[in-house]
Amino acid sequence: MKVIKAVLLGILLWVLIFLEVSFLTSGLGLGRSDVLYNSIHFILLVLFILFVNLIYFRKKIKPNFVRGLSFGVVLVIVGVILDSIIAIPLFLNSDYNFLFTPDVLFGNFLIIIVSAVFSYLVKK
């Protein structure tokens, strides 16, 4: 596994999600419990996951299920760390229970599963 590349793509994924959530909540005024918010968010999340997977497995790294699973876990770890040091203290009043809400847990699960399935399906 190319750890530095995986971590950098984890940061990219976190930034994409952060910007998207900021736009949906502040720009469009949607709440995290709105059906429209969740529909848009999870569709975009899958597209963002596929995007970073395409970059990660583009050249020298041969995709397979285990590599995709490992990459997905790294993406989640990076996201949790960045949420813990940036998003939660600055924007969520230091409410670390945010990390255990059903939508965040589902999103993390989705990151791992989509990465694993993607790398399995595109193996060379």
**How far apart, in whole angstroms, are the C-alpha atoms of residue 4 and residue 22?**
27
Q: What is the DSSP string of 36-68?
A: HHHHHHHHHHHHHHHHHHHHHTSSSSPP-HHHH
Per-residue pLDDT of 28-63, as tens digits, reads 999 888 899 999 999 999 999 999 999 999 888 888
pLDDT value at 124 more than 60: no
pTM across the whole model: 0.93
Residue type, 55: I
Per-residue pLDDT of 70-111, as tens digits, reads 999 999 999 999 999 999 999 989 999 999 999 999 999 999
**How far apart, in whole angstroms, are the C-alpha atoms of residue 36 and residue 32?**
9
Residue type, 23: F
pLDDT value at 117 more than 70: yes
